[in-house]
Amino acid sequence: MNVEQLLGGKGREVISVQPHRTLGEAVRTLSERRIGAVVVMGADGALVGILSERDIIRALGESGAAALESPVSRVMTAKVVTCRSQTSVDELMEIMTSGRFRHVPVVENGHVIGIISIGDVVKYRVAAIEAESRAMRDYIAMA
């Protein structure tokens, strides 16, 4: 299983914000969309960062409510780790585990074509384990 197959099951919608938007605006977007991260895209459509709940908590912890007036560019993670559509799920889990983050943008030919969350990976792993369990039960029942 690879990232392309995960995207096929979950969709390719990517929610983004611009770096000059305020943190408060980004928080509203996260809340309205019920998501944990947004990609930050420049005016030219290039990926310039990612903003996660952790980034927001860190900013609030450092600056209090005043952080909500800061531009997203001041709070976002600028060094974004990405994957490709052909990245295996096992490799993606290693990337997420070693980097200690829960969202990875999928980039092909310089364009963000999706985003995978740890929830997407867990959903896939649970389905795979359930399928294996069913197959084993069926095998035992036939023996």
CA distance 24 to 113: 26
Domain residue ranges in the chain: 3-142
Q: Write out the H or E segment, with its range, that includes residue 60.
A: helix 53-63
Q: How far is CA 8 from CA 15, 58, 91, 127, 139, in A?
A: 17, 33, 18, 15, 30
- Could you report the per-residue pLDDT of 24-43, keeping only the tens digit for each? 999 999 999 999 999 999 98
- Which CATH code, of 3.10.580.10, 2.20.140.10, 3.20.20.60, 3.40.720.10, is assigned to 3-142? 3.10.580.10
pLDDT band with cut points at 50, 70 and 90 for residue 10:
confident
Beta-strand pair 16-17/37-41 = parallel
Query: Which residues are 52's β-sheet partners?
Result: 37
Q: What is the pTM of this model?
A: 0.85
Choice between 138 and 65, residue whose per-residue pLDDT is larger: 65
> For residue 124, what pLDDT is reported?
82
> For residue 143, what pLDDT is reported?
67
**Are 47 and 80 spatial neighbours (Cβ–Cβ below 8 Å)?**
yes
- Could you report the per-residue pLDDT of 84-128, keeping only the tens digit for each? 999 999 999 999 999 999 999 999 998 999 999 999 998 888 877
> For residue 132, what pLDDT is reported?
80
> For residue 70, what pLDDT is reported?
96
| 139 has pLDDT over 90 | no
Tell me the pLDDT of the chain averaged across its residues.
92
Q: Which residues have C-beta within 8 Å of that of residue 90, sequence separation ≥ 6?
A: none
Q: How far from each other are the two terminal CA atoms of the chain, in whole angstroms?
A: 29
The packing angle between helices 23-33 and 53-63, to 10°, is 140
Q: Which residues have C-beta within 8 Å of that of residue 35, sequence separation ≥ 6?
A: 15
Query: Which residues are 117's β-sheet partners?
Result: 103
